[in-house]
Amino acid sequence: MTEIDSNLDKENQKKYYEEKITSSGFKVTKPRDIVISVLSGANKLLTADDIYMEVKNDNPSVGVATVYRTLELLTRLKIVCRIILGSGRSYYMLSRECAKETFTYMICTNCKKIITNNQCLKSAIQVRLRENAEETILKNCKLKIDNYQILFTGLCDDCSS
């Protein structure tokens, strides 16, 4: 799993996300707190249904619609990354890296570890997009792109050795 705020202990990590929510004009509610805790303790990508089942174990009064609304808000606030894999299914991950405009992911097909915004992968992609190819593509296609995701699958360093 990608390191999520590894330089912060649990208490400071919680304060960081609470501050991000309140500074955006929202309240830190019990369901939001539980969803962040579930994602914080996850060692893999989770679907909304996975998150709901964990939240339900902690607080049975929280409904599935509340979990979906919470994930939507936290994704909009860039507290939670929403990753859409080839199957079209949405997966979620808690990370400060959501604030970056371009998301580069590598998922190990063996251990399922998630590597996000790896510098080596990003450098390789930047080489392929050199000479303003990205800008030219967006300009010629007449599309307004806010951000994009690039997903690689294969073996991580640990599994390939």
Question: 82 and 57, same structural domain?
Answer: yes
Question: 15 and 79, same structural domain?
Answer: yes
Question: 119 and 47, same structural domain?
Answer: no
The pTM of the full predicted model, rounded to 2 decimals, is 0.66
Q: What is the span of the domain harbouring residue 145? A: 100-160
pLDDT on residue 4: 43
Question: 104 and 86, same structural domain?
Answer: no
DSSP 8-class letter at 115: E
Domain end marker among 98, 121, 152: 98
55, HSE (Cβ side, Cα atoms, 13 Å) = 25
pLDDT on residue 81: 83
pLDDT on residue 143: 65
How many domains, the chain? Answer: 2
Question: 66 and 24, same structural domain?
Answer: yes
Kindly list the averaged pLDDT for each block of 10 residues, start to end, along the chain of length 161: 48 84 94 91 84 94 95 91 77 71 74 72 62 65 67 85 83
Hey, what amino acid is at 105? Y
Is 71 in contact with 47 (CB distance < 8 Å)? no
Could you tell me if residue 69 is inside a domain?
Answer: yes
- DSSP bridge pairs for 117: none
